Amino acid sequence: MIIAIDGPAASGKGTLARRLAAHFGYSHLDTGLTYRAVAAALLARGLPLGDEEIAIAVARNLDLARLDRDMLSSHEIGEAASRIAVLQGLRDELVALQRNFARHEPGAVLDGRDIGTVVCPQAPVKLYVTAKPEVRARRRTDELLSKGKDADYGEILADLKRRDQRDSNRSVAPLKPAEDAHLLDTSEMDIETAFRAAVDIVDKVQRSKAG
């Protein structure tokens, strides 16, 4: 069973994906980290972000088991990830890795921007998680402050909007809900309520598959 979760930046898709994976005993991949890891390697070596061949070479050396969320979480890396994510050849390379991960048994939860539309269009469960930009920016600000990091609400809101705009308007694998995705707007939901709503959706699909 594959659970595909998409949504804009800081919408809560990762939180939901981790909780669903733990609940159902599935493996989880945050595909944003694959783009971030390539971007971080390019930035660390002072390499250009627009060179597809170099980005592909870096992607070929990625080890999904070594993606470190904390090390890849900065604004700068997120912005660079969104800039390299327009490169079709790089996406092809990363999508192949992600599809391979999706074969995990008994199931896999993948979250990103194009999981339901491109990576796993056959997934029986697709969720599109969203929330108002101001709510997402407030949650991300609080998250950073709670970790003792600097966080400016205005800057974070502008960053989220800029990335959403780029991710939604690119010609390759743009951010959008799959036609058969269940929409989950969590603007007015806490984490537990969103999780329960998602579990209900997955349970319903599992029951209908069972007969």
Ligand X SMILES: Nc1ncnc2c1ncn2[C@@H]1O[C@H](COP(=O)(O)OP(=O)(O)OP(=O)(O)O)[C@@H](O)[C@H]1O
With CB under 5 to 8 Å by kind, the binding choice for 139 among ligand X, ligand L45E5XJ5, none is ligand X
Q: Which is nearer to ligand L45E5XJ5, 41 or 209 (CB)?
A: 41
130 assigned ligand-binding residue? no
CB 208 to ligand X: min, Å: 26
With CB under 5 to 8 Å by kind, the binding choice for 189 among ligand X, ligand L45E5XJ5, none is ligand X
Tokens of 152: 């400016």
With CB under 5 to 8 Å by kind, the binding choice for 36 among ligand L45E5XJ5, ligand X, none is ligand L45E5XJ5
Q: Which stretch binds ligand L45E5XJ5 (CB under 6 A): 20-28, 47-55, 107-115, 128-136?
A: 107-115
Kindly list the distances between the CA atom of residue 197 and the CA atoms of 84, 122, 181, in Å, as whole numbers in the listed order: 34, 22, 14
**Count of residues touching ligand L45E5XJ5 (by CB under 6 A):** 14
Element (H, E) at 38: helix 32-44
User: Pairing mode, if any, of strands 108-112 and 2-6?
Assistant: parallel
With CB under 5 to 8 Å by kind, the binding choice for 191 among ligand X, ligand L45E5XJ5, none is ligand X
Phi then psi dihedrals of residue 194, to 5 deg = -65, -40
Contacts with ligand L45E5XJ5 in 145-204 (CB under 6 A)?
A: 163, 167
Helix, strand, or coil (residue 174): coil
141 assigned ligand-binding residue? no
Phi then psi dihedrals of residue 127, to 5 deg = -120, 140
Name the amino acid, one letter, at 210.
A
The residue assigned the tokens 């930046």 is: 9
Instruction: Cite the annotated binding site for ATP by residue number.
Output: 7-15
